[in-house]
């Protein structure tokens, strides 16, 4: 798993008008190539009467799946510019579709490239680029006598805290960034003089800054 990567927060769309042609940019985060393809087909069905539904997607930790489609526009004027926007913004696991309703004015190759670039940028702005950061679950099981000290230390250090359970002992779900999990566990062990029972659990992504 990557320690962090940029993707989109949500599915969203934004429309722009260029020389009377309507361009509607759709962006969506996806988990697989199949999901990306299904979304493209969904937009094509939604805009079955559009002049073009051009698209591109990048899927995989190492961007293994990269595809683009001009959907009838001159070769290299639509899908490629959309793909280049995704790559330039270093986004992963995203699909973008830019739908065009022709307005009667020819844009030329350069104009089309700019228009589809702008449509892709509009889609990303609407769907909002975020950074997912990998955190590792560290479960800290301690006696109540340590809870106040740990709470203060975690707060001072800015540790992300999940669920805290109060039974006969206190069980705190801490979520340090994944590369720091082992060191974090060692720090808590020292802090509690070896009296904490620590379990390192699963990894999960959280949005940076949230």
Q: What is the DSSP string of 109-159?
A: HHHHHHHHHHHHHHHHHHH-EEEEEEEEEEEEEE-GGGHHHHHHHHHHHT-
Q: How far is CA 153 from CA 135, 141, 149, 210, in A?
A: 19, 15, 6, 20
Percent of the chain whose predicted confidence (pLDDT) is above 90: 99
Determine the pLDDT at residue 210: 87
C-alpha closest to that of 101 among 16, 27, 23: 23
Residues of CATH 3.30.70.240 domain(s) within the chain?
132-207
Percent of the chain whose predicted confidence (pLDDT) is above 70: 100
Residues of CATH 3.30.230.30 domain(s) within the chain?
4-127
With left for phi above 0 and alpha for psi between -120 and 50, is residue 209 left, alpha or beta? left
CATH topology of domain 4-127: Ribosomal Protein S5; domain 2 (3.30.230)
- Provide the whole-model pTM: 0.89
CATH topology of domain 132-207: Alpha-Beta Plaits (3.30.70)
On the question of pLDDT at 13 being above 90, the answer is: yes
């Amino acid at each position: 798993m990557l320690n962090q990567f940029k993707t989109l927060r949500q599915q969203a769309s934004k429309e722009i008008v260029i020389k009377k042609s309507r361009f509607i940019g759709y962006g969506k985060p996806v988990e697989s190539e199949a999901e990306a393809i299904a979304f493209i087909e969904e937009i094509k069905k939604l805009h079955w009467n559009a002049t073009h539904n051009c698209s591109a997607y990048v899927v995989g930790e190492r961007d293994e799946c990269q595809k683009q489609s001009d959907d009838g526009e001159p070769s290299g004027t639509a899908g490629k510019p959309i793909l280049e926007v995704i790559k330039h913004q270093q986004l992963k696991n995203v699909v973008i579709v830019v739908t065009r309703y022709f307005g009667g004015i020819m844009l030329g190759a350069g104009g089309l490239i700019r228009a589809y670039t702008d449509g892709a940028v509009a889609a990303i702005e609407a769907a909002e680029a975020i950074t997912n950061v990998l955190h590792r679950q560290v479960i800290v099981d301690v006696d109540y006598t340590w809870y106040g000290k740990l709470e203060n230390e975690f707060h001072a250090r800015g540790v992300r805290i999940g669920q805290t359970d109060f039974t006969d002992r206190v069980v705190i779900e801490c979520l340090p960034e994944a590369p720091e999990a082992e060191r974090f566990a060692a720090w808590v062990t020292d802090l509690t003089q070896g009296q904490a029972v620590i379990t390192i659990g699963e990894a999960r992504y959280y949005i940076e800054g949230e």
